[in-house]
Amino acid sequence: MKKKIREKLKKIKMLILDVDGVMTDGRIIMDSDGRELKNFCVRDGHGLVMLQRHGIRVAILTGRTSLVVDHRARDLKISEVYQGALDKKEVFTRILEKNSLTPEQIAYVGDDIVDIPVLKMVGFSTAVADAVDEVKKHVDYVAVCRGGQGAVREICEMLLDAQGFWPKIARRYDFAPLE
């Protein structure tokens, strides 16, 4: 990991995630009754659980509104969920105030142009591998993995490693960390 990225990650106290295209692969499945379904990656979820276990808060900030997101957030014990956020920058400011955090203490993962205003404000900005090109121009890091396919876990592991938690996690799960 590059030194500049590691230094930014050391300051992070909260990870904020977009949903569609970040926590999911961006597809929305509708059944014949109009019920919405989304695919979430279980490894991404475990990464978020590990973050929270080590004191890094997690929030969801999405422009859409979906009951599926509420269910997934509850499952992962994410209490800060902001849906229907048409102005993500304004909601981001409220998140900072509510949590007494500075922009430098926030990491944000996005995939589309609606995320750019927040990506430009945070301490560590990330795009998933399949984000639109315009987003990739405005971030500190582009994940190797695609949205809904391990990108969130990748960022979680980077945060945990930079903040010195990865050796403890390796002991807990009985594996040797990669160098």
What domains lie within the chain, and their CATH numbers? Answer: 3-167 (3.40.50.1000)
Give the pLDDT score at 112: 98
Q: Which two tokens stand for residue 74?
A: 């509850």
> Do strands 106-110 and 29-30 pair parallel, antiparallel, or not at all (unpaired)?
unpaired
Residue 179 reports pLDDT greater than 70 = no
Rounded to whole angstroms, how far apart are CA atoms 58 and 106?
10
One-letter amino acid at 33 equals D
Instruction: Give this prediction's pTM.
Output: 0.95
Give me the pLDDT at residue 176, please.
Answer: 82
